[in-house]
Amino acid sequence: MYRTENCGELTEAHVGKSVKLAGWVQKRRDLGGVIFIDLRDRSGLVQIVVNTETAPDAFIIADTVRSEYVISVSGHVVKRDPQSVNEKMSTGTIELLVEEMAIINKAKTPPFAIKDQVDTADDVRLKYRYLDLRRPEMVETLKMRHRITQKIRKYLDEKGFLDIETPILTKSTPEGARDYLVPSRVHPGEFYALPQSPQLFKQLLMVSGMEKYYQIARCFRDEDLRADRQPEFTQVDIEMSFFEQEPFMSMMEQLMVELVDEVKGVKVTSPFLRMTHREAMARYGSDKPDIRFDMELKDLSDIVKDSSFKVFQQAVLGGGQVKAINVKGQAEAYSRKAIDELAVFVSTYGAKGLAWLKVDEGGFKGPISKFFDESTAEKMAAQTQAENGDLLLFVADKAKIVADSLGALRVKLAKDLGLIDESVLSFLWITEFPLLSYDEEAGRYVAEHHPFTMPMMEDIEKLESKPGEVRAQAYDLVLNGYELGGGSQRIYQRDIQELMFKTLGFTKERATEQFGFLLDAFEYGTPPHGGIALGLDRLVMILSGRSNLRDTIAFPKTASASCLLTNAPSEVSPDQLKELSLEIDKPKITK
Amino acid sequence: MYRTENCGELTEAHVGKSVKLAGWVQKRRDLGGVIFIDLRDRSGLVQIVVNTETAPDAFIIADTVRSEYVISVSGHVVKRDPQSVNEKMSTGTIELLVEEMAIINKAKTPPFAIKDQVDTADDVRLKYRYLDLRRPEMVETLKMRHRITQKIRKYLDEKGFLDIETPILTKSTPEGARDYLVPSRVHPGEFYALPQSPQLFKQLLMVSGMEKYYQIARCFRDEDLRADRQPEFTQVDIEMSFFEQEPFMSMMEQLMVELVDEVKGVKVTSPFLRMTHREAMARYGSDKPDIRFDMELKDLSDIVKDSSFKVFQQAVLGGGQVKAINVKGQAEAYSRKAIDELAVFVSTYGAKGLAWLKVDEGGFKGPISKFFDESTAEKMAAQTQAENGDLLLFVADKAKIVADSLGALRVKLAKDLGLIDESVLSFLWITEFPLLSYDEEAGRYVAEHHPFTMPMMEDIEKLESKPGEVRAQAYDLVLNGYELGGGSQRIYQRDIQELMFKTLGFTKERATEQFGFLLDAFEYGTPPHGGIALGLDRLVMILSGRSNLRDTIAFPKTASASCLLTNAPSEVSPDQLKELSLEIDKPKITK
């Protein structure tokens, strides 16, 4: 037997006991005749002591071990002298007096130190992922990921949801993101697609009467990756029949309440705040607002539309808005230069400028203050709750640009100014999403969530006349400014689904070819159903306090969708291509 | 709210209560003024009664409903008259007196009846899988699958195993079965492969110090499919560090004991029987013997090698064997014609013939009886424990053909003769597998399990001299004649792994190109590790008493790897191919 105990679990209760340990050498110090080793396993660290007097054979071995060697030791647990106690270590009041030691496997010097907060380049971390994962914060993150999924599974099991696997080799339905394709050998020229979500299958499970389904499902999108995207990601997929939105949201809230209590010991209260999409956009300029701080967007359009400031006037006249955020008490802190930098920031969201006013005893100060008469200025101050020392920042533009730029600026300023209490978990539902949005490039409406989302019944008559005004029976769960996931009541009637496809510009033929099996299924006794899909990677990221999705995934890919550890993707043999009836149709581009 | 109770969960305790139900119309009978409907949901059936006198509005609606309509009803639960009790129904002593009824969704007449034991063609079942899944036995199978995975997860969690996801987009390593490939858009001409198992990643997790890992993992093999294979299948993948074979096997036994108790209420005892591969092949002609019945293979080579029966003589002389099975008491039951049919059966396993003897008072009877003198006949009878009325069936051939043909015949006869107690779960470990087998076609040794399996230490010196004789530290878990899964101690030293690749005919360059990252990883402090992979689909199949893997999977594929429901795989657009830098290199073959 390699070991009787885990390193990090030894306590003073073990003092006097004979134990065996196995693990990795974290650190080794030779104090002349006595060698101290910090021994590490998954559970943590413990100090082991090898004395040349009492354990001469073990000492000879200990003399040769180096960092990351795998060793096994046996000996007695003893209490440390008071002056040797290490309070930073959970096992810091004890140590193991080694009697025997064996080297299980040697190690080369790792390319970076196995500890947190290392300043190692990302690509080195990814190439040596098996060493990167030895760092305590990586171990803790994967442990938390395990606890999170375990809790979710337990909760859903208790609520009667069945864990049902849906296929990974599915059919390509090029609506939405780009599919990863898998050539078929048996059917030359044909392809499977990896699922972007189990959407169609979970709906078919509802048609099949499974009633309550969940799956922690791998999903795939062949998109150009940003820092917080991965080509494969994991979704907590939940769907139920005889669905009603409010009880379903309550059940999800209860899951979140129990989950964050269990994995973080944080108490949150339910029901969570609910806010319509319209309100969220108006107040926070975002459909996933971080409500851990205020600094809301204030609409000044009506107040300033008659002012002499042309920029504001014209924005409102052109159907746009003038909005401001009040950066409380920061008038002094932001110089013109600092504000210019904020203007550059908002310009990335399309804002043509960032107007500003500072408030002091005498009223508004700043280059545009002259454009507002006393009455207007008073109204502006009232609307923004401006007080002495405040900084007001304005964007005047189309509604979308105002929302995007001030929404992002609000978050940036809160971070810069330390306004966010990182210990708080602030859940929020966003409801009444628009069903459709107009895609200028495609010249047609596209589904805001997906084409299977049920319109709000009172809006359904507008589907053909004013598609942009139709609201969806859809909701997003937001946590600390991140979209944790979204869901909806689904369409379960063939006629409404056909109308939806038509609204999205599908011909009848294309709707039948791509989704005919679903339309057919709806005719065989389909119950009302709905559900939600939560991004597991993001949930783990937020709850574990990491800043990158990659850190929540054991073997992630780079922004160019490569695995630096295994070197995937890679070239394959001509035989493999031939079997798949494929040819590469352009010369390989040098990377 | 659609419902307050589930149909199948109503009991006499509900009598007098007002409840709401929702579900599917299983059956509807109109007895003139009273309509009886069997209402079905996931939990089961209940009879609802609509009386034109007491609920005229509901009656009008009930008059229009047809099979598989989705309806909701409210009313009171009443006890049935004694003469109306239906003992076949778990809710057969009660019924619901309907007060209100609503049609939630209509249904066309389904292409087959929603009940068990339907004689519907497989392709119709698969095309309408959402209806096929409504059948009670399909619901029960998926429920059992859920309970099995839930139990496995709980057990492994309690033992400290972490559920860690490994990538689906991985690197192609063309050793073993054929990979499914995924073309990369970002890296033209390069491909990912879908994993045949998480083998390399789980070993890397052990290098990373995760110590105990599990995953219920989707795996993929692009092989020509037999009835019991699927292109994607699910594996319970378990790996641990500081691994020792016996304690690990005990832990797996405990999992199985608890699992079959929990999901089937069957008590099995551990430790399970252990048998070496050599013994299993000798006694049962199989490395996955069904030990619920005897009829073992008896070696008669030494006894018959000097007989005058040339076929036996020459088989032994040529290095082969003569073995027999004793079909107890079946001499009368098998005519010459019936035995000829068995000969045809064994010929599919390569046997050139099936010799036979019947035993009666006067000794052996049958065309070959004359070849054996009294002394030989006595020894043969003793060796096969032959008694009056027994039928002995002989195969004389190379060892592999003898094993394959008699091993298969043994199972066939046991099934034909009803010798198998289907209520028994008979677990068994097969150990000491050969590490390598010689592949005539490839002209080299190939790994029996996979190239990462540790040889038995006492055999390791034979790796270069007599590779065929090296035994592996590998074991299979067998249940009722099925291989549930297999595992091994893994190689964790670079030098042994390199030697293994060399033995398998890898050049150093190829080993480095394909598995260099693993060889490198082994040099950074790799603990001894090992584990097992269990076929979940097969486990579910056996425990749920189904005869087909497809019935354990919600959306399976056909033998030509097609999904008849969604019509995958399918052609994709020229734009999709262009983005992937691919061309189809031959005209589409008409299917």
Q: Nearest CA of chain A to the CA of B192: how many Å?
A: 5
Q: Are B21 and B7 in contact (CB under 8 A)?
A: yes
Residues of B in contact with A167 (CB under 8 A): 232, 555, 557, 563, 568
| Tens digits of residue pLDDT in B533-576 | 999 999 999 999 998 999 999 999 999 999 999 999 999 999 99
Partners of residue B240 on adjacent β-strands: B212, B530
User: What SS3 class is residue B148?
Assistant: helix
Element (H, E) at A536: helix A536-543
Task: Find the range with the poorest average confidence among A82-86, A142-146, A528-532, B402-406.
Answer: A82-86
Task: Count CB-CB contacts under 10 A for residue A323.
Answer: 26
Encoding tokens for residue A316?
């409102």
The percentage of chain A sitting over the pLDDT mark of 70, rounded to a whole number, equals 98
Residue of B331, B407, B401, B341 lying closest to B369 (CA atoms)? B331
B536 vs B485: CA distance, rounded Å: 9
Q: Are A489 and A453 in contact (CB under 8 A)?
A: yes
Q: Which B residues in the span 147-166 are in contact with A, Cβ-Cβ below 8 Å?
A: 149-150, 153, 157, 162-166
Q: Nearest CA of chain B to the CA of A298: how many Å?
A: 40
Q: Nearest CA of chain B to the CA of A525: how many Å?
A: 4
pLDDT band at B227 (very low <50, low <70, confident <90, very high): low
Element (H, E) at A96: strand A94-105
Element (H, E) at A456: none
The arithmetic mean of pLDDT across residues B90-113, rounded, is 97
Q: Are B210 and B504 in contact (CB under 8 A)?
A: no
**Does the distance separating the beta carbons of A189 and B571 come in below 8 Å?**
yes
Distance between alpha carbon A129 and the CA centroid of its chain, in Å? Answer: 21
**Does the distance separating the beta carbons of B142 and A569 come in below 8 Å?**
no
Q: Are A240 and A161 in contact (CB under 8 A)?
A: yes
Q: Tell me which residue in A163, A572, A586 faces B181 most closely, judged by beta carbons.
A: A572
Q: Are B238 and B485 in contact (CB under 8 A)?
A: no
**Does the distance separating the beta carbons of A561 and B165 come in below 8 Å?**
no
Partners of residue B191 on adjacent β-strands: A570, B183
Q: Are A529 and A243 in contact (CB under 8 A)?
A: yes
**Does the distance separating the beta carbons of B180 and A212 come in below 8 Å?**
no
Q: Tell me which residue in B171, B174, B207 faces A563 most closely, judged by beta carbons.
A: B171
Q: Are B561 and A565 in contact (CB under 8 A)?
A: no
Encoding tokens for residue A94?
């004890």
The arithmetic mean of pLDDT across residues B307-334, rounded, is 95
pLDDT at B590 exceeding the cut of 70: no
Partners of residue A524 on adjacent β-strands: B107
Give me the sign of the Cα torsion angle B48, B53, B58, B61: positive
**Does the distance separating the beta carbons of B528 and A104 come in below 8 Å?**
yes
**Does the distance separating the beta carbons of A150 and B164 come in below 8 Å?**
no
pLDDT band at B415 (very low <50, low <70, confident <90, very high): very high
B213 vs B239: CA distance, rounded Å: 5
**Does the distance separating the beta carbons of A110 and B22 come in below 8 Å?**
no
Q: Which A residues in the span 4-63 are in contact with B, Cβ-Cβ below 8 Å?
A: 22, 24-25, 40-42
A359 vs B367: CA distance, rounded Å: 115
**Does the distance separating the beta carbons of B68 and A524 come in below 8 Å?**
yes
Partners of residue A75 on adjacent β-strands: A19, A98
Instruction: Specify whether the backbone of B398 is left (phi greater than 0), alpha (psi in -120 to 50) or beta.
Output: beta
pLDDT at A133 exceeding the cut of 80: yes
pLDDT band at A587 (very low <50, low <70, confident <90, very high): low
The arithmetic mean of pLDDT across residues A6-11, rounded, is 97
Partners of residue A534 on adjacent β-strands: A236, A485
What class has domain A12-105? Answer: mainly beta
Q: Nearest CA of chain A to the CA of B25: how many Å?
A: 9
**Cβ within 8 Å of residue A11, ≥6 positions away:** A91, A94
Assigned fold of A293-420:
Gyrase A; domain 2 (3.30.1360)
**Does the distance separating the beta carbons of A528 and B104 come in below 8 Å?**
yes
pLDDT at A354 exceeding the cut of 70: yes
Distance between alpha carbon B367 and the CA centroid of its chain, in Å? Answer: 41
How many residue contacts between A and B have a Cβ separation below 8 Å? 361
Q: Strand B191-193 to strand B273-276: parallel, antiparallel, or no bridges (unpaired)?
A: unpaired
Residues of B in contact with A562 (CB under 8 A): 187
Q: Tell me which residue in A150, A183, A201 faces B163 most closely, judged by beta carbons.
A: A150
Encoding tokens for residue B290?
């069904």
pLDDT at A422 exceeding the cut of 80: yes
Q: What is the CATH number of domain A115-242+533-582?
A: 3.30.930.10
Q: Are B12 and A179 in contact (CB under 8 A)?
A: no
B533 vs B449: CA distance, rounded Å: 11
Q: Tell me which residue in A170, A212, A561 faces B184 most closely, judged by beta carbons.
A: A561
Residue type, A332: E
- What was the pLDDT predicted at B224? 82
Q: Nearest CA of chain B to the CA of A85: how many Å?
A: 27
Residues of B in contact with A162 (CB under 8 A): 142-143, 146
pLDDT at B591 exceeding the cut of 70: no
Distances from the Cα of A256 to the Cαs of A211, A252, A427, A519, in angstroms?
22, 6, 9, 34
A393 vs A359: CA distance, rounded Å: 11
pLDDT at A118 exceeding the cut of 80: no
Residues of A in contact with B187 (CB under 8 A): 560-562, 569, 591
Based on the number of CB atoms within 10 Å of its own CB, is B212 exposed (0-12), middle (13-18) or buried (19 or more)?
Answer: buried
Instruction: List the Cα angle B289/B294/B300 in 5-degree steps.
Output: 90
Q: Are A63 and A30 in contact (CB under 8 A)?
A: yes
Q: Which A residues in the span 111-130 are in contact with B, Cβ-Cβ below 8 Å?
A: 128-130
pLDDT at B175 exceeding the cut of 90: no
Mutate to test the interface with B, among A108, A126, A152, A169 (most CBs of B within 10 A): A169
Q: Are A544 and A550 in contact (CB under 8 A)?
A: no
Element (H, E) at B197: none
pLDDT band at A117 (very low <50, low <70, confident <90, very high): confident
Helices H / strands E in chain A, number of each: 17, 23
pLDDT at A565 exceeding the cut of 70: yes
Element (H, E) at A335: none
Residue of B433, B479, B453, B491 lying closest to B255 (CA atoms)? B479
Q: Is A538 annotated as a binding residue?
A: yes
| Tens digits of residue pLDDT in A504-560 | 999 999 999 999 999 999 999 999 999 999 999 999 999 999 989 999 999 999 999
Q: Tell me which residue in A166, A193, A569 faces B187 most closely, judged by beta carbons.
A: A569
Task: Count CB-CB contacts under 10 A for residue B3.
Answer: 16
- What was the pLDDT predicted at A177? 85
Q: Are B129 and A129 in contact (CB under 8 A)?
A: no
Partners of residue A186 on adjacent β-strands: none
What residue segments make up the domains of chain A, in order of their start?
A: 12-105, 115-242+533-582, 293-420, 437-470+493-526
Q: Looking at the complex, does the CB of residue A519 fall below 8 Å from at least one CB of chain B? A: no
pLDDT band at A33 (very low <50, low <70, confident <90, very high): very high
- What was the pLDDT predicted at B587? 57
Q: Are A164 and A198 in contact (CB under 8 A)?
A: no
Q: Is A449 annotated as a binding residue?
A: yes
Task: Count CB-CB contacts under 10 A for residue B33.
Answer: 10
**Does the distance separating the beta carbons of A143 and B162 come in below 8 Å?**
yes
Q: Looking at the complex, does the CB of residue A490 fall below 8 Å from at least one CB of chain B? A: no
Encoding tokens for residue A49?
């002591």
| Tens digits of residue pLDDT in A282-338 | 999 999 999 999 999 999 999 999 899 999 999 999 999 999 999 999 999 999 999
Distances from the Cα of A553 to the Cαs of A138, A229, B237, in angstroms?
9, 11, 18
- What was the pLDDT predicted at A227? 62
Q: Looking at the complex, does the CB of residue A189 fall below 8 Å from at least one CB of chain B? A: yes
Report the first-to-last Cα separation within chain A, whole angstroms.
50
Residue of A527, A530, A529, A548 lying closest to A538 (CA atoms)? A548
Q: Are B232 and B219 in contact (CB under 8 A)?
A: yes
pLDDT at A393 exceeding the cut of 70: yes
Q: Tell me which residue in A191, A222, A517 faces B569 most closely, judged by beta carbons.
A: A191
**Does the distance separating the beta carbons of A178 and B185 come in below 8 Å?**
yes
Encoding tokens for residue B200?
């390399």
Q: Nearest CA of chain B to the CA of A424: how many Å?
A: 27
Encoding tokens for residue B477?
């878990």
Q: Is A536 annotated as a binding residue?
A: yes
Alpha-helical segments (H) within B133-231: 136-158, 199-207
Residues of A in contact with B140 (CB under 8 A): none
Q: Tell me which residue in A105, A131, A146 faces B492 most closely, judged by beta carbons.
A: A105
Q: Tell me which residue in B179, B183, B218 faces A181 most closely, judged by beta carbons.
A: B183
Specify the residue for token string 């990586």: A138
The arithmetic mean of pLDDT across residues B309-328, rounded, is 96
B67 compared with B588, residue with greater pLDDT: B67
User: What SS3 class is residue A273?
Assistant: strand
- What was the pLDDT predicted at B330? 96
B340 compared with A591, residue with greater pLDDT: B340
**Cβ within 8 Å of residue A197, ≥6 positions away:** A217, A219, A235, A237, A533
Residue of B144, B127, B122 lying closest to B537 (CA atoms)? B144
| Tens digits of residue pLDDT in B432-491 | 999 999 988 888 899 988 999 999 999 999 998 999 999 999 999 999 999 999 999 999
| Tens digits of residue pLDDT in A92-101 | 999 999 999 9
Q: Nearest CA of chain A to the CA of B208: how many Å?
A: 4
Beta strands in B316-362 (DSSP E): 321-327, 355-360
pLDDT band at B136 (very low <50, low <70, confident <90, very high): very high
**Does the distance separating the beta carbons of A183 and B208 come in below 8 Å?**
no
Q: Tell me which residue in A42, A209, A522 faces B41 most closely, judged by beta carbons.
A: A209
Q: Are A414 and A420 in contact (CB under 8 A)?
A: yes
Instruction: List the Cα angle A384/A388/A393 in 5-degree steps.
Output: 45
Residues of B in contact with A525 (CB under 8 A): 24-25, 68-70, 105-107
Residues of A in contact with B557 (CB under 8 A): 167, 169
The arithmetic mean of pLDDT across residues B142-155, rounded, is 98
Domain B12-105 matches domain B115-242+533-582 at the CATH topology level = no
| Tens digits of residue pLDDT in A432-445 | 999 999 988 888 99
Mutate to test the interface with A, among B181, B236, B562 (most CBs of A within 10 A): B181
Q: Nearest CA of chain A to the CA of B375: how many Å?
A: 54
